[in-house]
Amino acid sequence: MSPTIVVNLALTHLIMPQKIISAQPDFSISPRVDQVGIIERAARFTKRSIKNETKLNGLLLTLNMIDLTTLEGKDSEGKVKQLCYKAIHLHDTYQGLPTVAAVCVYPSMVKTAKHALGNSGVKVASVSTAFPSGQSSREVKLRDTKFAIDQGADEIDMVISRGRFLQGEYNFIYDEIATIKEACGDARLKVILETGELGTFDKVRKASDIAMHAGADFIKTSTGKISPAATMPVTLVMLEAIRDYYYKTGRMVGMKPAGGISKSKLALHYLVMLNETLGEDWMNNQWFRFGASSLANDVLMQIMKAKTGIYQGKDYFAID
Amino acid sequence: MATAAKKNSVKPLARQDENGIPPKRLEVLKTYKIYIGGKFPRTESGRYYKAINKDGGVLANLCLSSRKDFRDAVIASRTAFGDWSTRAAFNRGQVLYRIAEMLESRKAQFIHELILQDIPASAAETEVLLSIDRLIYYAGWCDKFQQIFSTVNPVASSHFNFSVPEPTGVVSIIAPEENSLLGLVSAMSAAIAGGNTCIILASYSKPLCAVSLAEVLNSSDVPGGVVNVLTGKASDLIPYFADHMDVNAIVICDRGADVTRLVQEKAAINLKRVTIYDQINWLSDDGQSPYFIMDLQEVKTTWHPIENIGGSAPGY
């Protein structure tokens, strides 16, 4: 199942036949993570002072990076249509606001969302692979994914089988991701590690490495159904995994922290961390997303505060 | 009242005796902090001012609250509003009564603090006792004002039409400079008896009792966030008290025409209910009335379709 690539060994290829090696590294030697160091480093990012114009630009960028999400058992077509309207019309009294990056829904709601968003440029992301637990067969997960793609999903948010991962079956996880990636076709694949269930930073790092090598376009922290969801330290571990992978292979991978980011100040801290870990190339919604639902309104309230000088109340902003 | 009677025994923060000799034991001074969401943080700004009595003695360092403290307090108030406003009115009465109980057990401390702030002993005692009684007064009104001020309205169509008062929401209160305890307690009790939550700016020159009252509130079943107490300069904070979009009403006591006008202008942005209490004698019976509760209520009228008006004759 594991794909192979042909590597030219620069100095020797003239005299030696081309050597075929596996692209899949030995995941048992993923680097260990210094837990104390990561937590301290992540805390530093919250100390930057971001004011005025920089803050406003950061807030606008945050809006543009949001995957506006509704993943509830009670989701109805009406609810999804309402969310899609909000995605395009965040706050019409403020001219020139960006839209959010995408709307994130269950596969059964993809068609509704796709129709509601029309040609607005806002993408439709669908969760799949027996979200949120992932406790189903490979076949069901594949059909789940293909269904979402057929319905018109631009992006797929899959979950990994955390149980298998914790049992040490890394090849199973690798194959699982690679299979789903194949089924995605042109759709971009986000791989949810569900860091809240992995337990240690070492395991988060390992899962990140596996996901990226198996073809993930994004790695994502959480489903939002498990606490803790996204935290700054765990996101930093994943960002560093992306950086190391980029240095090794030259391929960019996106990052999506999801769950628990509901205040704009925290979102700005994440952007600082992103900028200082991966740099400006990642500072757009092609490579970074926030999975959130209530964050958008808090950012809007901050933007209106910056514009009017008056503290805002939630009565004056659309609920979804 | 032993403490109140012996005025000479009051020593503002003595660090040494008359001969300049330090005492054997250093007095432990209380840090007067602000009260937001059931917690006692220091101001986010890190700024402070000194409360000074008329002889120039320093009584305490007080937080010079910033607009961010106010914003945090509004968030706490808004969060607390849902639970507080939907509680049974009878339960709100019990909580107000409990505040009075707690205040009663600590009245010596409040009298002492008032005396430190240049209030004569007898006036201090009167003010504290009246404050306790005022809490009892509004505790009683909690489950009574609503039926008294509700009406069934005669209408000319087939509707049962009735109006009931409901709490306005989050209320910001600028407490009076004088009567620093009684004025604050009166404005606060009327607001929370009606189911509102509030953010109070204490008297600048006599702030001690406001902070001690927050400690009483914190130990009397008042949910965190229902009452928030800030200390600091009115001129710094009043604009934000008046224009914050998530505040539904503002009460302003004895601040003069210019400030009142500023508040009215800024409050118009989101149509806040503005209540102005000028020259109210909080010590008299005029200082308490169910109409103070009604100042912070919205009247909701319901048109309920019925078949008959009156019920005796058929409606067709």
Least Cα distance to B204 among B182, B228, B175 occurs for B175
B254 falls within a domain: yes
B29 falls within a domain: no
| HEC readout, chain A | CCCEEEECCCCCCCCCCCEEEECCCCHHHCCCCCHHHHHHHHHHHHHCCCCHHHHHHHHHHHHHCEEEECCCCCCCHHHHHHHHHHHHCCCCCCCCCCCCCEEEECHHHHHHHHHHHCCCCCEEEEEECCCCCCCCCHHHHHHHHHHHHHHCCCEEEEECCHHHHHCCCHHHHHHHHHHHHHHHCCCEEEEECCHHHCCCHHHHHHHHHHHHHCCCCEEECCCCCCCCCCCHHHHHHHHHHHHHHHHHHCCCCEEECECCCCCHHHHHHHHHHHHHHCCHHHCCCCCECEEECCHHHHHHHHHHHHHHCCCCCHHHCCCC
* pTM (2 d.p.): 0.86
- B218-272 tens-digit pLDDT: 999 999 999 999 999 999 999 999 999 999 999 999 999 999 999 999 999 999 9
The CATH number linked to B128 is 3.40.605.10
pLDDT tens per residue, chain A (320 residues)?
444 444 444 444 455 555 555 566 787 778 999 999 999 999 999 999 999 999 999 999 999 999 999 999 999 999 999 999 999 999 999 999 999 999 999 999 999 999 999 999 999 999 999 999 999 999 999 999 999 999 999 999 999 999 999 999 999 999 999 999 999 999 999 999 999 999 999 999 999 999 999 999 999 999 999 999 999 999 999 999 999 999 999 999 999 999 999 999 999 999 999 999 999 999 999 999 999 989 999 999 999 999 999 999 999 999 87
Closest residue of A to B247, CA-based?
A: A313
A256 counts as catalytic:
yes
How far apart CA A142 and CA A125 sit, in angstroms, is 16
A300, A310, A312, best to mutate vs chain B, most B CBs in 10 Å? A310
Residues of B in contact with A316 (CB under 8 A): 245, 270
Contact in structure between A293 and A69 (CB atoms under 8 Å): yes
Contact A313 B247 (CB under 8 A): yes
B72 falls within a domain: yes
Alpha-carbon A12 to chain mean position: 40
Contact A313 B243 (CB under 8 A): no
B301 falls within a domain: yes
Least Cα distance to A105 among A74, A141, A140, A134 occurs for A74
Closest residue of A to B244, CA-based?
A: A311
Q: Would you call B180 helix, strand, or coil by DSSP? A: coil
Q: Would you call B164 helix, strand, or coil by DSSP? A: strand
A220 counts as catalytic:
yes
| pLDDT(B17) > 80 | no
Range of the domain at B46: 34-280+287-305
Which structure tokens are listed for A203? 């395991």
Q: Would you call B229 helix, strand, or coil by DSSP? A: strand
CA contacts within 13 A on the Cβ side of B113: 24
Where do the domains of chain A lie, and which CATH numbers do they carry?
Answer: 25-316 (3.20.20.70)
Contact in structure between B117 and B53 (CB atoms under 8 Å): yes
Active-site residue among A67, A154, A157, A217?
Answer: A157
B20 falls within a domain: no
Of B74, B78, B245, nearest to A310 by CB-CB distance is B245
Number of domains into which chain B is organized: 1
Least Cα distance to B70 among B268, B193, B236, B192 occurs for B236
Total CB pairs under 8 A between chain A and B: 26
List CB contacts of A142: < 8 A, sequence separation 6 or more.
A179, A180, A183
Q: What is the pLDDT of residue B1?
A: 38
B272 falls within a domain: yes
A74 counts as catalytic:
no
How far apart CA A291 and CA A104 sit, in angstroms, is 8
The backbone torsions φ and ψ at residue B102, rounded to the nearest 5 degrees and listed phi first, read -65, -40
Residue B65 C-alpha, separation from nearest chain A C-alpha, in angstroms = 16
